Chains A and B, each alone.
Chain A
Amino acid sequence: MTTFTTNIQLVYILGAACFVVGLHLMNSPATARRGNQVSTAGMAIAVIATLVLLIHDGSVTGIGWTVLIVGALLGSAAGLYSARTVQMTAMPQLVSMFNAVGGGAAALVAIYGYIHDESAPGGVLGSTTVFTVLDVLIGSVTFTGSLIAAGKLQGVVTGQPVIFRGGRLLNAALAVVAIGTAAFMLTTASLPALLIVVLASLAFGVLMVLPIGGADMPVVISMLNAFTGTAVAMAGFVIGNWALIVAGALVGASGGILTKLMADAMNRSLANIILGGFGTGDTAVSAVVAGDAQIRSIAADDAAIQLAYASKVIIVPGYGLAAAQAQHGVAELAAVLESHGIEVSYAIHPVAGRMPGHMNVLLAEANVPYPQLREMEEVNPEFARTDVALVIGANDVTNPSARRPGSAISGMPILDVDQARSIIVVKRSMGTGYAGIDNELYANPKTSMYFADAKKAVAELTAAVKTLVG
């Protein structure tokens, strides 16, 4: 290692340190923006160091520069455009697309390196072959898996679990082919083998995500994020670059932690989610709501009276709220209540959106101050002191039957909505949620059902509350 390349490695370490500091500053909404800036600076440092290294090296051809610069500029433009125009509700798709391109780029680095070394005199086998193979495997699976996940979220691919006869067998076979061929590559240099690994991994990625339902996407996106990070770290091993190794490890850790948090929030194992088929009806157990239970339906005026005379209201938003684009209306309703001295906060279940933390972003966009956004463990003890819990577009995460064994969601941590003095549920119909089971909260004598589309309901409630409190 020459002095020059050593210095460049040191600059890479500086960049990597910026990533760590940037992520550390994300531990509070007050400092998070600065964290993002520090992280951006780290990236700029790493990219500039790379360019300096290449210029110093001097071996790059004119065509090489053109190809790389044009590719990077076009990619930047595409990334910039999508980042500027994306709706906050579509954030999971965008993150999934970034996972796809990140994993794809990492796989390409390894594939390219392999092809290049294949023609080199020394051959291709070396101590980094294992990392090349892992990078190609993980990167390719991430690429197609993320594309399918984005397609499902966007509605291009059906959000329903896609299950066909022999699908799991086919997927297992693909995994065996991919891993088997990859193992073969450790001892024998072979370009066709690399091609088989790539193709089998790409197909595996598609078949892995297809059977997974829409509401399980928070787990899938987190997992694919961890995969991308791992693939990037493997690419770092292949080319011996510390910045890639550190960045990949950080992202792998982040994705891994979020995957575990999301799976815990659904009380389901990762294997159960990946094997898919949840919520298709075949797992639904018999309804726990007694047949003679009375469902009480109310109109906007009655609901508004309850809200207007409350002193503490907790709003429980679910994905239905985002799907109905009602988050701005809810924020307005909350503002009206607050202006009359009513304490309002939001109870947010970890899987309330389509990706970790999604609901918080949607509410922040609707101008809800972040101190009002409360996490499940923190807000649950407060329901007992709450006059009205207003549930909008959330279902399974409020179902008390999760506390007992024998239900499809048993053991899932839920929001203790039933502890509130009264409960108003805004819902379009008595239809079941993702788990396909009845919600016994609706039969609770303290519960009133307000059947309407979330957006319309919230507008009517706001108007009614305004006339009540003047």
Chain B
Amino acid sequence: MDGPPIAARGLRRNWSGRPVLAGLDLVVEPGELVALYGANGAGKSTLLRVLGTLLRPTGGELRLFGCDVRRGTIAARQRLGWVGHDTACYPDLTGRENLEFHASLHGLARAGARVDALLAWAGLEGAARTPVRSYSRGMAQRLTLARALVHEPALLLFDEPFSGLDTEFAARLAALLAEHCERGGAAIVSAHDESRLAAIASRTVTLVAGRLREG
């Protein structure tokens, strides 16, 4: 598996016959942090779900780390961390149990130290043994980010990751994203508030009418 983290050509995805992604092209190289903007309903979440292999493209070509997603996605999924609008965590499990479960899905047998480190990074040590159902919006979002980072992915696909976060943690997340890309990782991050990403993004793309425009 060798190739850029993302190489999409003519990528299309329809919803009920309506094209949301209308043949877009996108290449993301290692070390790049791409800020993804677009109006409400432009298709940012759809794009990130397609790139995260959660949605099948209707047409076009998508390669993740050189791997054609039509020929299997397990190897690519080992290297991507995805955050969506919901937590993708189990509300009746504790924060620690959720992270341990996701670590086990990634084949990390002894993930205790990694889970401890992520709980500390997310400021959730005190709530680690509390069911997620009782978490505040911001705590749940921090756990969501920790879940996506548990296997130290090379490619981050984050949909509105700053939503619900306080200023202090938003700065911590921005620092993590910058550091991730400095180490050679790649990321696509969607956000409404351009000021969050302005200082750290390598480039900016805007989704308009199902296609990406630079800037």
Q: Do A and B come from one complex?
A: no
